[in-house]
Amino acid sequence: MKVTVVGAGNVGATCADILAYREVVNEVVLVDIKEGMAEGKALDIWQKAPIDMYDTRTVGVTADYSRTANSDVVVITSGLPRKPGMSRDDLIETNAGIVKSVTEQVVAHSPNAIIIVVSNPLDVMTYQAHITSKLPRTKVIGMAGILDTARYRAFLAEALNVSPKDIQAMLLGGHGDTMVPLPRYTTVGGIPVTELIDADKLNAIIERTKVGGGELVKLMGTSAWYAPGSAAAQMVEAIVRDQKRVVPVCIKLEGEYGIDNCYLGVPVVLGKNGVEKVIELQLDEKEMSDLRTSRDHVMEVMNVLDKINNK
């Protein structure tokens, strides 16, 4: 199995490192546009192999897509990260062009690959990759929900002083401040979270989760990479090992949740064919209305992308 990671920056290199370290595939190809960057990071990861005892080959190339040919999965992380004071949507103009040209080259060399988009604004960059690739919606998906639920689970684990391993959670919607964490679908060792934490504390955690990316941007001056790289690697692993993981993933909705033609995070079954099933949860009125608010926001940004593409 072969995986390409486009963008050898913070998120891309972290993802490649985890894929190698865990021997998820035989070969990881890192691609970047910056001369020598991907080659250097791939070599560094390969030199770690004798220490950490793995044999996944890591190869780096500068914009040479012939080396990515016949990849099973391609992760697209190329693009600008935001700086303090910016929203993810502020990245659209630059990143739309990058994701479009990268997707064209990826598909030309790996027509059967499953594409995982990471670049921001996530839901709309997934839209960009999907329309550019012309692949089925089940094969062009975005990474956000695994990261957002991980933040939510980590905050809960801290507040409850329990292991993050025992916290299960689901979350819907766009990868932005309108995301919809679902306390009704959150459990701690099988126990509904609402039995273990009072409503005010839970609400504070939900609000912190929604701006979890921004919290890190403020601290570091650029956006996060350890958890995002790991979340993307988990999606790759689910696909190449055909694990049928049930995780939130961004995909084009075609009538699910009463929503059509919008790219949003929803629970899916993730396996060798990409998204093998979209799971429709029974939502109450408030959850449904929050999801519609999130949809409206993503649709607005999708319209901005349409204008950029029609210029």
Ligand X SMILES: O=C([O-])CC(=O)C(=O)O
Ligand Y SMILES: NC(=O)C1=CN([C@@H]2O[C@H](COP(=O)(O)OP(=O)(O)OC[C@H]3O[C@@H](n4cnc5c(N)ncnc54)[C@H](O)[C@@H]3O)[C@@H](O)[C@H]2O)C=CC1
For residues 128-187, which are near ligand Y according to CB under 6 A? 143-144, 147, 175
CA distance 218 to 266: 28
Considering only residues 213, 265, 267, 274, which one is a binding residue for ligand X as defined by CB under 6 A?
A: 213
Contact call for residue 248 and ligand X (CB under 6 A) = no
Between 87 and 243, CB nearer to ligand Y: 87
> ∠ CA(54), CA(55), CA(57), 5° rounding?
125
**How many C-beta neighbours within 10 Å does residue 25 have?**
20
SS3 51: helix
* Shortest CB 184 distance to ligand X, Å: 23
CA distance 115 to 130: 9
Asked if the bond preceding 121 is cis, omega within 30° of 0, the reply is yes
Classify the C-alpha dihedral 63-264-203-154 as positive or negative: negative
Is residue 233 marked as binding?
Answer: no
Determine whether 109 is an active site residue: no
Start-end of H helices in 61-198: 92-109, 122-133, 145-160
Contact call for residue 107 and ligand Y (CB under 6 A) = no
* Shortest CB 41 distance to ligand Y, Å: 9
Considering only residues 65, 74, 76, 82, which one is a binding residue for ligand X as defined by CB under 6 A?
A: 82
**Cβ(166)–Cβ(191) below 8 Å:** no
Is residue 309 marked as binding?
Answer: no
CA distance 47 to 52: 9
The binder of 217, among ligand Y, ligand X, none, by C-beta within 5 to 8 A per type, is ligand X
Residues binding ligand X (CB under 6 A): 81-82, 88, 120, 147, 175, 213-214, 216-217, 223-224, 228
Residues binding ligand Y (CB under 6 A): 6-12, 31-34, 37, 77-82, 91, 95, 98, 101-102, 118-120, 122, 143-144, 147, 175, 222-225, 228
Binding-site entries for NAD(+): 7-12, 32, 95, 118-120
